[in-house]
Structure 1
Amino acid sequence: MKALKTSSCTTWGIIASGSALMIAAPIMPAWLTFLLTLSFAKALVVLGVVMQMRAGLVSFGQALYYCVGGYGVGLGAQFLGITDAFALLALSTCVAVILALIFGSLLTRFREIFFAMLTLALSMILYGVLVKSWALGSTDGFNIANVFFLGWEAPESQYKLVLYLLTVFIAAIAAIVIQRFLNSDWGRALEGVRENEIRIDYLGLSSKNLLFFNYVFAAAISALGGGLTALAAGHIDPDMALWTTSGEFVLIAILGGTSHVAAPFIGALVFALIRTFAVQHAPHFWQLTMGLVLLLLVLFLPKGIWSVVARLKLKGANA
């Protein structure tokens, strides 16, 4: 009963937060809406990383599906003539799911560092292919023209705002779905796989099937984030599949925490704000500034930023 009440509160909290962000959109400066759009899109990828962390697996190659999502949108618009944002996002997600179904059967046989390195290898293979593909712009990538929204063409001045609203809406829906999944029997069984895989098999559940489904689900969410990033930035390039991009997603997951579905969104936003202001105020030393700030956060908040919220909630419950 308590778990059900907590789940319901989380759902309403996500709805309330998403509604507030959408209502506040008209009064936000353009730079903030753009930053939030990219942050929430990347947070979807981080959610994919967190889902696998819950099962005891760390993916250093989640950028593979992030890149597939971005290039799926770009290729669909440029070579297939698809101009609707929803159709492009659906296309890129389906491509990512097909790849995940193929790779997942192999990857879910491995654990720990072997899983991490194999995911990284697949991501770097995609990066190498894209770098050598001159028809796709090689290292420069290519631009994506503005798209339609269910047949409606947004005015040029409002295009970024519409994309922001779309991203917040999709992020809220995805967060609710994942939160309910993680609180379901399957989601809790994934934590059991992390703690003791043999006992899960003895209970009559297949740990391999659980990990496989989780891997495919995470791939779909990550591709959705990549597609939204491509639409918002209006450009894609092979760096979307680079190992540093995958490392960034893992870092954001650690920064925000893995104990709540809202943590990746908080982590992604804090990460983006730190990087933005570090670049603005220390353009020649922004990597050092950002590294120091993140190091302090990790040292003093080893369970992520969400642990602060959890402690405050615990104090309020005990008061």
Structure 2
Amino acid sequence: MSTEVTCTKTKGLDVPGLLPLVVPRRAYAVLFALLAIGICALPSFASGYAVTLAVEVMIAGVFASGINLLTGYTGLVSLGQAMFLGLGGYGIAICTALLGWPLWISAPVTLVVVAMIAAAIGAVCTRTRGVEFLLITLAFSQMFYGAAIKLRWTNGSDGMSGIPRPDLSWLGVSADNPVIFYYYVLAVAVLALLVLWRIVTSPFGSILVGIRENERRMMSMGYAVANYKIGSFALAAVVCAVAGILQSQYAYFVNPDAMSWQMSGEGVLMVIIGGANVILGPFVGAAVFVVVKQALSLITDEYHLFFGIFFMLVVAFFRGGILGAASAVIGKRR
């Protein structure tokens, strides 16, 4: 019996993990090209508010992508990923605002430290599963949340300000310009998307899917399941930390709310709405989440109630999220 874990390939579209739509390759290429052109040209025809909203969507999409790697591909549902979002923001704030390090040193140092912390936490959390895993990640997140409030050098509940954006003067532009910052966030989001796509389509990603589907079988086949789960936990944390760095640069500010369990919950909602097990799913979910939430907040102060109803409708009528439902509909028509 072969012990190789293989990726499932769809008929027509052979891009595993990127988009689950069963469509001809040419139609997919045209759709993707039009989407890319629209995103790149958005600042030229959209209002400043729309550009700001798009930046929020992309940052939220990167954060949800980190959750998707852990939840959608590895099968580990966590309510603690916001701790890494906050660690990314606080890490860049401490390195730049307090220590005075340049951004090009601060960002890699922050990500390395986050990866080390995540590996240590993951070694503990991945010994559990199911509800126990969810609760222990929540407990760790609340510990860091409490530390961010109590520690003096994090400025307590007031947070830290003065977080710089990248210095792009060598290109003759300033990242303080909303349009330039939009393209900066877009570049980071695309890079994160490509890295995640490479991970989930690699043998490592296939093993993660195998762990999600049948962990005992993977163990019987000789895979070091514990190490792969820790690796997935650390990689997901680094992606969430990247979103935290972008978020803190976007607001020039970070506070303990970035580590709240509500933030983790919102990330999980984005994954469910867009579609788990799909690289583009979290970005679709983030777009729907941010736009619908903003629209409802303009209509009523009780927008949380109506957003809850909206989420229930998505879960009830869009099995597998928006992309999963679209894939099922197109598959039936074909």
Q: Give yes or no for TM over 0.5.
A: yes
2:272 is aligned, of 254, 261, 264, to: 254
1:299 to 300, 313, 316: 316
How far has the Cα of 1:281 moved from its partner?
A: 1.3
Q: How many residues align?
A: 314
Counterparts of residues 137-176 of structure 1 (less than 5 Å): 137-149=155-167, 152=170, 154-155=173-174, 159-176=177-194
Instruction: Determine the structure 1 residue equivalent to 2:97.
Output: 78
Write the distance in 1 (CA, Å) between the matches of 2:181 and 2:127: 39
Correspondence for 1:30: 48
Q: Which moved more, 1:209-218 or 1:189-198?
A: 189-198
- Asked whether the 8 Å contact 2:162–2:253 carries over to 1, the reply is yes
1:61 to 70, 73, 80: 80
Q: Which residue, 201, 207, 220 being the options, matches 2:238?
A: 220
Partner Cα distance (2:18, 2:137) in 1:
31
1:97, CA displacement in angstroms?
0.7
**CA distance in structure 2 between the partners assigned to 1:251 and 1:199 by the alignment:** 30
TM-score, length-normalised on structure 1?
0.90
Give the structure with the larger helix fraction.
1
1:183 matched residue in structure 2 = 201
Calculate percent identity across the aligned residue pairs.
Answer: 25
Query: Is the 8 Å Cα contact of residues 90 and 154 (structure 2) preserved in structure 1?
Result: no
Deviates more, 1:259-268 or 1:177-186: 177-186
Is 1:198 the counterpart of 2:206? The answer is no
CA contact (8 A) 1:89 1:228 kept: no
1:7 alignment partner in structure 2: 15
Please give the alpha-carbon distance, in whole angstroms, between the structure 2 residues aligned to 1:181 and 1:89: 21
Q: What runs of 5+ residues in structure 1 fail to find an aligned partner?
A: none
| Amino acid across the alignment from 1:76 | C
State the Cα deviation string for residues 32-63 of structure 1 (Å, max 9, x = none): 12111122112112112111122221011000
- Cα distance in 2 between the residues matched to 1:287 and 1:182: 34
Residues 201-237 of structure 1 deviation map (CA, whole Å, 9 limit, x = unaligned)? 2222111111111111111111001111111122111
CA contact (8 A) 1:7 1:180 kept: no
1:91 corresponds to which of 78, 85, 109:
109
- Residue 276 (structure 2) pairs with residue 268 (structure 1): no
1:232 aligns with 2:254: no
Say if 1:39 and 1:269, in contact at 8 Å, map to a contact too: yes
2:132 matches 1:114: yes
Deviation at 1:164, TM superposition (A): 1.3
**Secondary structure at 1:175 match in 2:** helix
Alignment gaps of 5+ in structure 2: 1-6, 20-28
Asked if the contact 2:126/2:133 (under 8 Å) is kept, the reply is yes
State the 1:2 CA deviation: 8.3
When residues 278 and 237 of structure 1 are mapped into structure 2, their CA distance, relative to the original with a 3 A threshold, is same
CA contact (8 A) 2:293 2:307 kept: yes
For residue 242 of structure 1, report the CA deviation from its aligned partner: 0.7
CA contact (8 A) 2:163 2:248 kept: no
Question: Do structure 1's residue 287 and structure 2's residue 304 form an aligned pair?
Answer: yes
Counterpart of 1:220 in structure 2: which amino acid?
A: V
> How far apart are residue 151 of structure 1 and its match?
5.2
Equivalent-residue separation in structure 2 for 1:168 and 1:245 (angstroms)? 22
Q: For 2:266 and 2:179, locate their aligned partners in 1 and report how far apart those are by CA, in whole Å.
A: 26
Aligned to 2:24: none
Aligned partners of 2:91 and 2:66: how far apart in 1? Answer: 18
The equivalent of 1:21 in structure 2 is 39
1:124-153 CA-to-partner distances (Å, cap 9, x unmatched) read 111101111244232121323443335547
Q: Which residue of structure 2 aligns with residue 314 of structure 1?
A: 331
Cα distance change of structure 1 residues 64 and 276 upon mapping to structure 2, 3 Å threshold: same
Q: Which is further off, 296-305 or 243-252?
A: 296-305
**1:83-103 CA-partner distances (Å, limit 9, x unpaired):** 43x444323222211211221
Q: 1:110 to 1:19 in 2, by over 3 A?
A: farther
User: With structure 2 as the length reference, what TM-score do the two structures score?
Assistant: 0.86
Report the CA distance shift for 1:2/1:196 in structure 2 as closer, same or farther (over 3 A).
closer
Superposition deviation, residue 263 in structure 1: 0.7
